[in-house]
Amino acid sequence: MNNAMAGVPVITLDGPTASGKGSVADGVAHALGFHVLDSGALYRLTALDAERLGIDLDDEAELAACALALSPTFTASRIFMDSRDVTDAIRAERIGNLASTIAPYPALRAALLDRQRAFRRAPGLVADGRDMGTVVFPDADLKVFLVADVAARADRRYRQLIERGAPADLDVIAHELCDRDARDANRTTSPLVAAADAMTIDSSALGLQDVIERVLELARAAGIGR
């Protein structure tokens, strides 16, 4: 970490697929005026580009090179790769599953490390993912581990897909969530696990605003924000 980054506060939000991390991260960042890192988007962008380039999913070196070569542009609501708007393409369940399949490769994870840390800019950052508090920002000022039971998460994902007009089957979604949880949690490199100093919030029975408020309360208690 360079000195300029040392004083910039970071809140990490880790947790399983569809636990609501992204929406909570956006809400917390908005309330505090902080930047957001959606680290899953970087894994999804790598998966999308690897597919476009026809890279063999067993070829760790080529996948890492693909991750290193990414040149995405993040605007307030869209993500561009070169001049292509890939916002919707990376949200497809197929690309999420592909991202989870290639994410265990240490070389690929290493290739994305500096890119993720570069999001740490004043006045602060809210970073969501699987290893934000354990690996990418181990010195974060507040670490939250967001969980929710499979039924609640499958229901949320189902509603998101229906809203987008995408095909959705609740049973298939629940099944794929469990598979993805197992893959993300059981890999040896940077597995999905709560940092020892993380605060766990179970959002199964909570609304989005309730979770955002809880995180903001924890942030205030940690002396973060305005």
User: Which residues lie near ligand DC (CB under 6 A)?
Assistant: 17, 39-40, 43-44, 96, 99-100, 103, 129-131, 180, 184
Q: How far is the CB of 207 from ligand DC (least distance, A)?
A: 21
Please identify, using beta-carbon distances, which residue of 100 and 203 lies nearer to ligand DC: 100
Cα angle, residue 75 at apex, residues 74 and 80 outer, rounded to 5°: 55
Q: How far is the CB of 99 from ligand DC (least distance, A)?
A: 4
Please identify, using beta-carbon distances, which residue of 124 and 129 lies nearer to ligand DC: 129
Structure tokens given for 138: 């181990």
Please identify, using beta-carbon distances, which residue of 96 and 225 lies nearer to ligand DC: 96
Rounded to an integer, what distance in angstroms lies between the CA atom of residue 178 and that of residue 66? 28
Question: Which residues are 13's β-sheet partners?
Answer: 128, 144
Q: How far is the CB of 97 from ligand DC (least distance, A)?
A: 8
Please identify, using beta-carbon distances, which residue of 91 and 218 lies nearer to ligand DC: 91
Q: Locate tokens 């499979």: which residue?
A: 150
Please identify, using beta-carbon distances, which residue of 192 and 224 lies nearer to ligand DC: 192
Closest residue to ligand DC, based on beta-carbon distance: 40
Residue among 45, 37, 89, 86 nearest 69 (CA): 45
Please identify, using beta-carbon distances, which residue of 93 and 212 lies nearer to ligand DC: 93
Q: How far is the CB of 226 from ligand DC (least distance, A)?
A: 27
Q: How far is the CB of 39 from ligand DC (least distance, A)?
A: 4
Q: How far is the CB of 141 from ligand DC (least distance, A)?
A: 18
Q: Is 92 left (phi over 0), alpha (psi -120 to 50) or beta?
A: beta
